[in-house]
Every structure is written in structure tokens, then in C-alpha cells.
Amino acid sequence: MAPRRRSTKFIFVTGGVVSSIGKGISAASIAAIMEARGLKVTLAKLDPYLNVDPGTMNPFQHGEVFVTDDGAETDLDLGHYERFTSATMGRRNSVTSGQIYEAVLGRERRGDYLGGTVQVIPHITDEIKARILAAAEGADLCIIEVGGTVGDIEGLPFLEAIRQMRLELGRDNAMFVHVTYVPYIRTAGELKTKPTQHSVMALRQIGIQPDVLVCRSEKPMPPEVKRKISLFCNVPPEGVVSAMDVPSVYEIPLVFREEGLDQRICDLLGIWAREAALQDWRRITDRLRSAGPEVTIAIVGKYVELRESYKSLNEALLHGGIASGCKVKLHFIEAEDLERSDDGAALLAAADGVLVPGGFGSRGIEGKILAAQCARERRIPYLGICLGLQVAVIEFSRHVCGLARANSTEFDAASPHPVVHMLPEQEGVTDKGGTMRLGAQPCSLEPGSLAARLYGSETASERHRHRFEVNNDYVARLCDKGLRISGVYTGPRAAAAVTPLPDGRAGLVETIEIPDHPFFFGCQFHPEYKSRPRAPHPVFAGFVAAALARRKAQGEQRGAE
Ligand code: GLN
């Protein structure tokens, strides 16, 4: 008889007092320390909004949309989950109220509840519980993060569902972690516990007594403050974890370990596991703390005011720095400012590398084209991601191939040279949600190319999120003038391209490069989603290394003058 699998244990993470206190990082760091103890962990995020997924929200509303291998457009916290663990997230790890209501209402219309009244409890809560169990499938420990802040009306069904789950699964199998904020009041010179007390009170009112409080603060928490929180919140002192601000989020697993959180979790859930092996996290922390050369990367985008909208990208660049042993300074440039400036190129001059990230819509597009041109002509390392590849192709078509009004049909439907266009299958799409080219797809890399060298392989699998593609009708002309198509997709969807590639294959352009350039690389996919601090992505490692080489060469030049 096969041994009976241990049942999955659950940690439910809620947040109180204010939003943006690092609930996602806390959940991810708990997962990291428990994985370091040898457990198979997974995570899921429950989002209370009514959108089915965040794919149709703009980044100002929601920050970055994180894309999983299986093509789900999800909350950016799933990015943290992957970066902090070795788990792979998917559709089932991101649950929204929109999905829950869509499923329940779909069943109601089909007549599944015929004769009954459909209610939040039990129908909505049952659906939430079913999805939590599905997300946990196969893991020893599943960490469930509830979005929003305790006290929000829309979060109530989720809190009710996790309250029920604790009752049903028992104390040995489920516990509650509440992440709160302990503000430092300058005039009093004190950390104040009252907001935490109130937030825990609100939780207890709905039947949830937290087992652990993760207390975020900007100052160290003295023992008497810990004691006070323990007493008033009815949480034993061992369960009160101090989480002071640290220079890098990758230090949080070590902070939690230091506070004994992993042992506390093991004690509460009856988990017998080895000591946490955290050497990877120590190494990363040491790297990040140690002084080293610094490179500046100019990011030319549209939502540069809102750093959260490029979360995975910022992290991937930081990881690239870890790989090269240097610091990466991000210089965000509003693409429209480049257009307006008399000498846009001067704005980029200080950079060691230029990056044009993914994006949608025409605002700032000429500024991005200018950035690609400046990087190409001045031989500054360039990385173009998705839209960043597309603008590089437009730029090359206009200024090297002489196709003056070359454009993407996304920005100029009447362009005489639509070098980037929509495939017929996309043109028929009317629903905006979840209909782009999404998720992981394989890519063949040409032997000897920069792409193949970076990956150390002739194949790659990367995540997509776009509607437009390089127009194969122009590929021969681009290649004649020196652009190299180093990566192509030749899977089943490639037939949609209508025109085959010049070599006769049915394929879509995945990566481009300019061989006679220190580093000029564009990819139609988003490598940033797959970079992890413990495994920096080769494209970012290569790009940052090229930027560092330029910085060093310039330093030597200056030294010689
Ligand atoms: N707007 C472009 C497209 O849809 C690029 C998308 C992106 O950069 N993710 O193809």
C-alpha cells in the first residue's frame, strides 16, 4: 500500500492598520524559511476586488501584472512568491472575488442550486474554501495571503472562509498570522501599539484570533512594547515577531529566522523538520550589503512615477547586479520627456545601459524609439522587452532600412510599413480579458548567437503577454541590413503568422540582436518574470555585465585622459 500522504497544513496571512506594509513579502518570507526547513511549500493570494483578474487594470490601479507559466495574469505578489521560493505559481494560486462570483453565478444560471437561495455564506465561502484547497494540492504547507486590510467590507467573505477552515482543519493544521504596523510617533519618541490592538480586535470580532503577529516598524521594538502587544492582543510573546525596516526585502527571511518564527510555526502546527538552511539568503544579503561598483540603467517607460508597475523588472535588474557583483541604480525616464527634450540623447548619456520595458498604448512611443536609436548609435547596451523589442524593430526599419514611416499598427494603423502588426487570429478578438498571447512558450535560439550564449542553450521557455508581433514580411529586409533574428517560436501557433520566415519555417520572431554592438538585445517575451535572487536570469545577468563593462571601459578612458 502506498504511504498515506501527509495532509497539507495552512498558514493564513492577513494584514491590518494600513496597506503596503509588506504583507506579500511577509508571506513569501515565511514560505522561504519553511522551505529552508525542507518542506514543500506553495502559496496563494486571495484578492477581494471584483475584476476576474488584474489583466485589464492599468498599472496605476494595481501595479504590475504578473504572468505565470500557465498564462494567468495575476497579482504582483505572486512574483514575490516565486522569487522567495522554488515554487512555480499558476492560475490556481491567484483567486479573486470576481472569479468566485463568476463561478457561483454561472452555476446559479445553470440551475445547480435550483430551489435554493444563493448566499454569501455558504455558497461564496464554500467556493473560496474549495479554491484554497485546490491551490494547496501536493504541498506540505500552503501559505494563503488575504489581500486588503482587515476591516474592509469586501474582504469579509475571505476572512469568514478562513475562519471556517481553521475550525474544520483543526489547530494542528491551520494557523493565523496577522501583519500589522507599529508606528513611531516622533513627538512622543515612542512606538505606538494602539493601531495593532484595534486591528487585532477587529479580527477577533469576526472570530479570528491570530497566533502570530508580524509587527512592521521603522524603529527596533523594545521588549516592553512586545510584551504590551502580547498582553493586549492575546498572543504569547513568542508569537510577536518584530520586523523592522531593512535595506533589502531579501533580508526578511533572515529576520524571521532570527525572531524564531520558523520554530514557532513548527511548534504550533506540529511540524517536525530540520533546522533552516538559509545560506543562500545569507549570501544574497552579504552581496547586497557589500560595496561594489555601481552601474546606472536608464528605464524609459510610461509609468515611471509608479515603481510598483515594474516590480519584477526592478528585481530582475537587481538580480543581474548580484550575478555581476555590482549595484544597479535605476534611473527612470518618462518616455514623453525624451520626446520633448531638445537633446533626448543627452538624457540617456549618463546611463551604462538603456532598457525599454513592456508597455501598451501610443503615449511616449516616439521617446522609446529615440531611446533605442540612441543606444544603437552610441553603442550603449540595450535591452528591449516586448514593446522594447518592437520599438527597436521600428527604429531599425526607419533609420537603417530607410522605411521612413515604419511603425506598429498599434500606434499607426495606416503605416505604409507595418513592421509590427497583429496576427489575423488576434484581430478577431473582441473580449479584452485574458485574450493576449499569454504564458510560457518555447523558443529556439540560433547557435552562436548572443541569445544562445546568454542562455547557454539552444532553447528557452519564456512568458508572454502581448497582442502584436514582428511582421514576417519585413524580416528579410531587416536581416539584410544587419539585424539578427536569433530566437524564433515555431510551435503550433506559428501557423497564424501567415507569411513564413525567410528560411521557410512557420515562425514568430522571439529575439533580435545586433551582432556588431556590445549588447543589443530585444525579446518578445518577459524574462523578468522568471528571474530569482538565487538564480538571476541570464538575460539580465548579461545585460548588467555589459553595462558594467562599459562603465569600466569609460572609467579607464577617463583615467587615461
Ligand atoms: N503593446 C504591445 C503588444 O501588445 C507590447 C506588449 C508588452 O510590452 N507586453 O504587443
Q: What is the pLDDT of residues 384-415, one digit of tens each?
A: 999 999 999 999 999 999 999 999 999 999 99
Which residue among the candidates 73, 259, 462, 528 is catalytic per the annotation?
Answer: 528
Does position 307 have pLDDT exceeding 50, yes or no? yes
Mean pLDDT (the chain) is: 92
The minimum-distance atom of ligand 1 relative to the CA of 526 is: 9
**Range scoring the smallest mean pLDDT among 137-146, 180-189, 438-447, 486-495:** 486-495
DSSP state of 124: I
Does position 308 have pLDDT exceeding 80, yes or no? no
Name the superfamily (CATH) of residues 292-422+436-557: Class I glutamine amidotransferase (GATase) domain (3.40.50.880)
> What angle, rounded to 10 degrees, do the helices at 223-233 and 194-205 form?
20
CA–CA separation, 498 and 426 (whole Å): 13
Pull the grid cell for residue 531: 528571474
In contact, 66 and 76? CB cutoff 8 Å: yes
What pLDDT, on a 0 to 100 scale, did the predictor assign at position 53? 82
SS (H, E, C) 365-434: HHHHHHHHHHHHHCCCCEEEECHHHHHHHHHHHHHCCCCCCCEECCCCCCCCCEEEEECHHHHCCCCCCC
| Protein residue whose Cα sits closest to atom 7 of ligand 1 | 358
In contact, 74 and 56? CB cutoff 8 Å: no
Residues sharing a CB contact under 8 Å with residue 11, sequence separation 6 or more, in sequence order: 27, 30, 141, 142, 143, 144, 174, 175, 176, 177, 265, 269
Over residues 31-36, the mean pLDDT reads 97
In contact, 529 and 67? CB cutoff 8 Å: yes
238 is catalytic: no
| Protein residue whose Cα sits closest to atom 3 of ligand 1 | 466
CA–CA separation, 22 and 249 (whole Å): 9
Hey, is 520 helix, strand or coil?
Answer: strand
Residue type, 18: V
Q: What's the whole-model pTM score?
A: 0.93
Q: Residues 97-110: pLDDT tens digits?
A: 999 999 999 999 99
In this prediction, residue 3 has a pLDDT band, given cuts at 50, 70 and 90, of: very low
The minimum-distance atom of ligand 1 relative to the CA of 468 is: 10
Q: Is-same-fold flag (9-283; 292-422+436-557)?
A: yes
528 is catalytic: yes
CA of 466 to the centre of ligand 1 (A): 4
In contact, 75 and 123? CB cutoff 8 Å: no
The minimum-distance atom of ligand 1 relative to the CA of 420 is: 10
| Protein residue whose Cα sits closest to atom 6 of ligand 1 | 466
| Ligand 1 site-directed mutation target among 58, 300, 368, 410, most atoms within 8 Å of CB | 410
The minimum-distance atom of ligand 1 relative to the CA of 388 is: 8
Over residues 360-389, the mean pLDDT reads 95
Residues sharing a CB contact under 8 Å with residue 187, sequence separation 6 or more, in sequence order: none
What pLDDT, on a 0 to 100 scale, did the predictor assign at position 561? 67
CA of 417 to the centre of ligand 1 (A): 18
Q: Residues 114-129: pLDDT tens digits?
A: 888 999 999 999 999 9
Give how far Cα 356 sits from Cα of 61, 123, 300, 512, Å. Answer: 21, 46, 5, 14
Does position 432 have pLDDT exceeding 80, yes or no? no
Name the superfamily (CATH) of residues 9-283: P-loop containing nucleotide triphosphate hydrolases (3.40.50.300)
Does position 10 have pLDDT exceeding 50, yes or no? yes
In this prediction, residue 188 has a pLDDT band, given cuts at 50, 70 and 90, of: confident
Strand runs labelled E in 228-326: 240-244, 294-301
Taking the mean position of all CA atoms in its chain, how far away is CA 19? 18
The minimum-distance atom of ligand 1 relative to the CA of 410 is: 1
What pLDDT, on a 0 to 100 scale, did the predictor assign at position 4? 45
CA–CA separation, 561 and 553 (whole Å): 12
SS (H, E, C) 9-40: EEEEEEECCCCCCCHHHHHHHHHHHHHCCCCC
| Protein residue whose Cα sits closest to atom 1 of ligand 1 | 360
Q: Residues 499-514: pLDDT tens digits?
A: 888 888 889 999 999 9
Domain range summary for the chain, segments of one domain joined by +: 9-283, 292-422+436-557
CA of 451 to the centre of ligand 1 (A): 21
Hey, is 513 helix, strand or coil?
Answer: strand
556 is catalytic: no
Ligand 1 cavity residues, CB under 6 Å: 358-360, 386-387, 410, 465-468
Which residue among the candidates 326, 386, 401, 523 is catalytic per the annotation?
Answer: 386
Residues sharing a CB contact under 8 Å with residue 175, sequence separation 6 or more, in sequence order: 10, 11, 12, 166, 211, 212, 265, 268, 269
Alpha-carbon dihedral 150, 154, 160, 166, rounded to 10 degrees: -60
Of the candidates 428, 423, 429, 438, the one whose C-alpha atom is nearest the C-alpha of residue 497 is 423
